[in-house]
Amino acid sequence: MDTSDTSAPLLGEPLPVELMNTIWADRDGVHDALIDAVGTRAWLQAVAPRTELLTPDEVAALPPSALEQLGGRLTDLRDALRRLAAEVTEDARTTAGTGPAELQEAVARLNRAASDTPHWSALSWPPGQEPSQHLRAGGEGAAAAVSALADEAVALFGQDTRHQLRACPGPGCVLYFMKNHPRREWCSAGCGNRARSARHYQRHRRTTV
């Protein structure tokens, strides 16, 4: 698990899932990695290498006012995605409850975010080289990156890939992950180890009571 400079766990999941996981928990409770401009900048810098529309240097140059706006947009999108993820996974974890109560409001938030800033695919084909696809955007790069992330989330929830989405059953965990292997049951090895330790403790306790 790579945490880079952001407090949010980065598990190598698709970016919409990484955004969902900016709500995370430990022994001290539930935390929000996008709680302020510092946290927003750290998370954007950590994921910038995974998007064509934003570089870490561009994130570093963003003024506090722009970061506050982006933080608000990311939080709204994140909470909508967590509501959609809870619907798909039948997530009953009470500590994971964020976002709009109504499913259709979450859908509306996602669609607004996806359409907020124009972005499109463009073909590049230099003479003598292989053609390639690139993402282009109108307006400010950071805002376009948020919209592109929302667009990726639309694809995730609108296709059969949504059935791979899981709510981690680890003790106290509030993260989501994609079940990309038949034997994968936890968001991370650490969560699996904690779950196994908790089961071992409960079994030992029952035999000694």
Q: pTM (2 decimals)?
A: 0.87
Burial of residue 154 (number of CB atoms within 10 Å: 0-12, 13-18, 19+): middle
Rounded Cα distance between 55 and 80, Å, is 25
Summarize the chain as % helix, strand, coil (round to 5): 55, 15, 35
Predicted pLDDT at 192: 75
Predicted pLDDT at 164: 96
- What radius of gyration, in Å, describes the C-alpha atoms of the chain? 19
| Distance set, CA 86 to CA 29, 106, 162 (Å) | 20, 11, 11
As a residue count, the chain comes to 209
β 23-26/29-32 pair status:
antiparallel
Those residues of the chain that have pLDDT short of 70 are: 1-4, 96-98, 195-209
Predicted pLDDT at 122: 93
